[in-house]
Amino acid sequence: MGPVERTGARLLVDQLLIQGVNHVFCVPGESYLGVLDALHDAAAAIRLTVNRHESGSVFMADAYARLTGQPGVVFVTRGPGASNAAIGIHNARQDSTPLVVFIGQVGTDHLGREAFQEIDYRQMFGPVAKAVEQVERADRIPEVVARAFQCASSGRPGPVVVALPEDVLSDSTSAADARCHQPVQAAPSDTQTAALRSLLRQAQRPVLMLGGPGWTGAALDNLRRFVEVNDLPVVCGFRFQDRFDNEHPNYIGEAGIGINPKLAQRIKTADLVIAIGLRLGEMTTSGYTLLQAPVPEQTLVHVHEGLEELGRVYQPMLMINSGMPQFASRLAAMNQIEPAPWSAHTRAGRAEYEEWQQRPAAYRQHEPTLDLWQVMRQLRQAVPRNAIVANGAGNFSVWLHRFFRYGAPGTQIAPTSGCMGYGVPAAIGAKIAAPERTVVCVTGDGDLMMSVQELATAAQYHAGVVFLLLNNSMYGTIRLHQERRFPGRVSGTALVNPDFPLLAKSFGALGVRVTDTAGFAPALTEALAYTRERRRPALIELVCDPDLLTPEATVASLRATLASGEPGQA
Ligand SMILES: Cc1ncc(C[n+]2csc(CCOP(=O)(O)OP(=O)(O)O)c2C)c(N)n1
Ligand SMILES: [Mg+2]
């Protein structure tokens, strides 16, 4: 565009259009009224979703970004708005989600005075966001916005914060537009792929670990071809279970919280670990025990988009800085390794996964009236394979992650940062991004109540999400840790909850309570039909047995184990 006079706010919205933005999530504030006004004119191209809490805006934008592959965009107001958004910014950093979060700021002539709601965002978000920018002149809006999108989407993606002083939005400028950003990823060299092949040729018990951002459907197809040709066992990292079809005979499980002990052993005793796309973080490595830091016993190959992740904790034998599509196409082109002596090891890994999916050990002590093992199996059968399943944090997610089988890529939306309150808005954001798909959110009584206000957003935007609430009337995860460390001394973990079906109904949602196993299947059928036909949310409250802490442990079994002095595996 030529030298047209525009306000900073209008120039900013024009840059959003150029960057390909078609959806913005926000809670309004007087600090960026001009932007809201410019969005009014751009309404045909940019949809605006207004939330009830800024964490909801960021979590919804996060899910939207994961599903569309485009950076999610959020607007929040200064001070309090920014503070409410912080949880989502932290989560997006840990999840490597590309986001651009615009935050209102005091006028440039008051900066540094601790003016009304002023925060120095560079200090506040410095260690949290991938980058923090503050635009201090209207004519530099195009440059800074382009940089924010470029940074958010290249290398290891992440959240970028952009502070917008009020006068910068109201000033006029004839600055020219920027261009659309171009996400940039590295590619492996011939030498690196040859080195990988040579390490694989020497292996007897290799394990491939998969996860992280940046995968496309085509990249995962290429990876699957490589896995099938070489009959390799595949482990998905913590909350990246949808990167490989869980029904596939080469899938052997998730390296996450409550890992199958046999899988942990298989990884520990592997002679070659090829980690592709995922961070070798605390949750995926069982607290840095599956691999020793800094020099693991296994030969380690680490492939990651972010240069800074390579050699961060571990010193791999081979490090490859590459985007996932770039790396996977090289894998697909690699000649088959012959002979591959590990087929029996792959089959054994799969058999251990199947065994781990059988009836939970805790049922030996305690048969629950409402069987969550059956619930997860029935859920699996009732929803299409491309259904999106979101969750937040809590022990309820252990049942889902262990007994559900994720199918296609982009079907799991779960926070690797373990932040409560994520699942509810993320599921709504996913439904807004993909209205034709079935979206289910599995949540807990603690987790739901951290974002319950977003049910209003779901109703307002016709997001027909099915919420499965596992209500055990407590912060069960913390109670589990409490029973291990301070048995019998319940402190700060019991909850008195509202009438959840009634609460759901007040938001215009279907609200159903299920108290036994037989009640679940009909309730799910009703909820799926309701969300599809009425385009409104539905909530199924599952009244859970508080004694059943995990699939492995009841309160009684945990106390007995501790009393006998045996090391428990809970
Ligand atoms: C925002 C946030 N606050 C606190 C925690 C610590 N925390 C982890 S799980 C949990 C309890 C979750 O309760 P609920 O959703 O009821 O699930 P349950 O463990 O009972 O199945 C808490 C308090 C957290 N992870 N995130
Ligand atoms: Mg609970």
Atom of ligand 1 nearest to the CA of 419: 26
Q: How far is the CA of 497 from the centre of ligand 2 (A)?
A: 10
Task: Please write the tens of the pLDDT for every residue from 418-435.
Answer: 999 999 999 999 999 999
Q: Residue 566 — pLDDT band, cuts 50, 70, 90?
A: low
What's the CA gap between 287 and 370, in Å, rounded? Answer: 32
> Mean pLDDT across the chain, nearest whole number?
96
Using the CB atoms, write b or e for 329-350: b if 16+ within 10 Å.
bbbbebeebeebebeebbebbb
Using the CB atoms, write b or e for 243-262: b if 16+ within 10 Å.
bbbbeeebbbbbbbbbbbeb
* pLDDT tops 70 at residue 76: yes
What's the CA gap between 84 and 54, in Å, rounded? Answer: 5
pTM of the predicted model, to two decimals? Answer: 0.97
**CA 16, 17, 18: angle at the middle one, nearest 5?**
90
Q: Residue 270 — pLDDT band, cuts 50, 70, 90?
A: very high
Q: What is the pLDDT of residue 331?
A: 97
Residues ≥6 apart with Cβ < 8 Å to 199 = 272, 299, 301, 317, 318
Residue 384 CB neighbours (<10 A): 10
Of all protein residues, the one whose alpha carbon is nearest to atom 11 of ligand 1 is 475
Rounded (10°) angle between helices 343-356 and 261-268: 160
Which ligand approaches the C-alpha of residue 399 most closely? 1
How far from chain centre, in Å, is Cα 285? 18
CB 524 within 8 A of CB 452: no
What's the CA gap between 236 and 284, in Å, rounded? Answer: 9
Atom of ligand 1 nearest to the CA of 443: 15
- Amino acid identity of residue 304, one-letter, is H
Of the candidates 44, 45, 72, 68, the one whose C-alpha atom is nearest the C-alpha of residue 60 is 72
Q: What is the pLDDT of residue 171?
A: 98
What's the CA gap between 59 and 323, in Å, rounded? Answer: 25
What's the CA gap between 213 and 570, in Å, rounded? Answer: 30
Q: How far is the CA of 423 from the centre of ligand 1 (A)?
A: 12
Which ligand approaches the C-alpha of residue 450 most closely? 1
What's the CA gap between 48 and 304, in Å, rounded? Answer: 34
- Please give the DSSP secondary-structure letter assigned to residue 542: E
Lowest mean pLDDT among 39-43, 359-363, 512-516: 359-363
Q: What is the pLDDT of residue 570?
A: 38
Q: Which two tokens stand for residue 82?
A: 């920014």
Using alpha carbons, list the distances in angstroms from residue 476 to 163, 257, 479, 548.
38, 15, 5, 9
Q: What is the pLDDT of residue 2?
A: 54
Task: Show the beta-strand stretches assigned E in 435-483.
Answer: 439-444, 466-471
Strand partners, 367: none
Of the candidates 105, 55, 64, 61, the one whose C-alpha atom is nearest the C-alpha of residue 85 is 55
What's the CA gap between 149 and 215, in Å, rounded? Answer: 19
Strand partners, 510: 538
- Spell out which residues line ligand 1, taking CB within 6 angstroms: 393-396, 418-421, 444-447, 470, 472, 474-478
Atom of ligand 1 nearest to the CA of 444: 15
Q: Residue 560 — pLDDT band, cuts 50, 70, 90?
A: confident
Q: How far is the CA of 529 from the centre of ligand 1 (A)?
A: 30
Lowest mean pLDDT among 287-291, 294-298, 334-338, 376-380: 334-338
What's the CA gap between 47 and 129, in Å, rounded? Answer: 25
Alpha helix locations (H) across 154-215? 166-170, 190-201
Atom of ligand 1 nearest to the CA of 393: 9
Q: What is the pLDDT of residue 568?
A: 46
CB 538 within 8 A of CB 527: yes
Atom of ligand 1 nearest to the CA of 450: 1
Q: How far is the CA of 502 from the centre of ligand 2 (A)?
A: 18
Q: What is the pLDDT of residue 263?
A: 98
Residue among 59, 239, 375, 395 whose CB has most ligand 1 atoms within 8 A, to mutate: 395
Strands 466-471, 439-444: pairing is parallel
What's the CA gap between 82 and 344, in Å, rounded? Answer: 53
Task: Please write the tens of the pLDDT for every residue from 104-153.
Answer: 999 999 999 999 999 999 999 999 999 999 999 999 999 999 999 999 99
What's the CA gap between 353 and 475, in Å, rounded? Answer: 29
Of all protein residues, the one whose alpha carbon is nearest to atom 12 of ligand 1 is 394
- Please give the DSSP secondary-structure letter assigned to residue 393: S
Q: What is the pLDDT of residue 365?
A: 81
Edge-to-edge order in the sheet of strand 318-321? 251-255, 234-237, 206-210, 272-276, 299-304, 318-321
What's the CA gap between 508 and 536, in Å, rounded? Answer: 7
Q: How far is the CA of 448 from the centre of ligand 1 (A)?
A: 10
Residue among 87, 257, 416, 475 whose CB has most ligand 1 atoms within 8 A, to mutate: 475
Task: Please write the tens of the pLDDT for every residue from 479-488.
Answer: 999 999 999 9
